[in-house]
Amino acid sequence: MGGNPAMRAGLALVVVVVAVVVGDVGAALPRFAEAPEYRNGEGCPAAVAGAGVCDPGLVHIAMTLDAHYLRGSMAAIYSLLKHASCPESIFFHFLAAADGGEGGGGGVGELRTAVAASFPSLRFEIYPFRADAVTGLISASVRAALEAPLNYARNYLADLLPKCVPRAIYLDSDVLAVDDVRRLWETRLPAAAVVAAPEYCHANFSRYFTETFWSDPQLGDRVFAGRRRAPCYFNTGVMVIDLRRWRVGNYRRRIEVWMELQKEKRIYELGSLPPFLLVFAGEVEAVDHRWNQHGLGGDNVLGSCRPLHKGPVSLMHWSGKGKPWDRLDAGKPCPLDHTWKSYDLYIAEGDSSSASAPFALSSSALPAAAFSW
C-alpha cells in the first residue's frame, strides 16, 4: 500500500502528539535528512477551508518527542507518511518538555525546526509539557528511564490538545508503521469504551502488581470487579483514545489517584503502565495484534533479540530496553533493526553525503502474510 507513488501523492493529516524528554539540554540536536514528499491519492477527504486542526477529515496521531528519542520519532513519522493512503490528511501533535531551555538542544524551538526541516509540508503542533504537573506523583521504578516525566504526558493529551480533536492515536517513538494508519484510526469504539488497543490476555496479569496490592482486601481482584471483561495486559505504546469521553470521565484524575496511592503503599514496580492498567484493564476495546508487534527492543535483562510474533504485521514496536538506533551504532543490530534502518533519516557526524532520505522498505520487504487483511 505504501509503495504506490500514485497513492502517495500527498501527506496524510494525522494528528500525532509527541512528548519530549530532554536529556542533555546543552547538546545540539542531531542532523536529519529531508524525507520525500508524499501526496494524497484518490478518495481522500477534501480539506475544509479554514478548519485547520479542527478539520473532520484529519487523522490525529500523538507521540512523545525528546532529544534522545528524536531519531526514533523521525523514523516513525517517515514510516507513517510513506504507508498512508492520505498522508496530507495526517496531523501530528507533539508534546515536548516545557523546560527544554532557551537556545539549548532539545528545546521546543529546536525540535520544531528539526521536524520542519525534514518534513517541510508536515502539519503538526508542539505542546509544551510541564514536568511539575506530574513530578510529585512519580514513584521509583525498576528502570530510571521509566521515571521520566514525559512518559506520563499521554495522561494529559485531553488537556493539551484542542477540544475540537475528537480522538487521537497515541504512539511511542520507537515504532514503525508498515501499513496505512487510517485503518487503525477507523477503529470502532463502542459507547462504553474510551481506549482501544491490542490486548495480550495470555500474559500473566498479576505480575504487574505487587503482593501488597493483591493481598489488600480493598484492592486486588476487587478493583477489576464489574468490568466489561476480565482484565488483560495491554501495551500503552499504541492506543486509540476518545478524547471527548476521556474529558467527560476525568480519566486523567483517575490515573493520578492510583499514582497517589502508590506513594503511600507500593502496589506496582513499573512506571507509567500500571496506573493505566488499573483504570482501563477490562474496559479496553480490543484491536488486532498486527497493530502492535511489540517487544522488538529485546529482553530487558539479557538484551537478546526477539523476532516478530506469528501473524500479520501493520506496526512494529521496539519496546523494551534495546533501541534499533543504539544497536546499529554499536555494530550489534538485531535482524529486524535493519528494517528500521531503512527509515532512518539520521545523518552521522562527519557524513558529507547529500541530505537525502534513505530508501525505505516497501511492504514487500516483509513476508506477504504480514500484510494480509
Q: Which domain holds residue 250?
A: 57-340
Beta carbons of 122 and 12 less than 8 angstroms apart:
no
| pLDDT surpasses 50 at 213 | yes
| pLDDT surpasses 50 at 348 | yes
Mean pLDDT over the full length of the chain: 87
Question: Among residues of the chain, what percentage have pLDDT more than 70?
Answer: 83
Beta carbons of 168 and 197 less than 8 angstroms apart:
no
In this structure, is residue 34 part of a structural domain?
A: no
Give the model's pLDDT for residue 144: 63
Give the model's pLDDT for residue 143: 62
Please tell me the least confidently modeled range out of 18-27, 34-43, 71-80, 232-241.
18-27
Q: What total of structural domains would you count in the chain? A: 1
Quickly state the pLDDT bin for 18 (edges 50, 70, 90). Answer: very low
In this structure, is residue 259 part of a structural domain?
A: yes
Give the model's pLDDT for residue 364: 45
What average pLDDT does range 236-257 have in this prediction? 97
pTM for this entry: 0.87
In this structure, is residue 206 part of a structural domain?
A: yes
Beta carbons of 198 and 288 less than 8 angstroms apart:
yes
Give the model's pLDDT for residue 320: 86
In this structure, is residue 309 part of a structural domain?
A: yes
What average pLDDT does range 317-343 have in this prediction? 94
In this structure, is residue 368 part of a structural domain?
A: no
Give the model's pLDDT for residue 355: 54
CATH number at residue 284: 3.90.550.10
Q: What is the pLDDT of residues 261-319, one digit of tens each?
A: 999 999 998 889 999 999 999 999 999 999 999 999 987 567 689 999 888 999 999 99
In this structure, is residue 372 part of a structural domain?
A: no
Give the model's pLDDT for residue 199: 96
Q: What is the pLDDT of residues 54-69, one digit of tens each?
A: 999 999 999 999 988 9
Report the distance separating Cα 119 and Cα 116, nearest Å: 5
In this structure, is residue 121 part of a structural domain?
A: yes
In this structure, is residue 20 part of a structural domain?
A: no
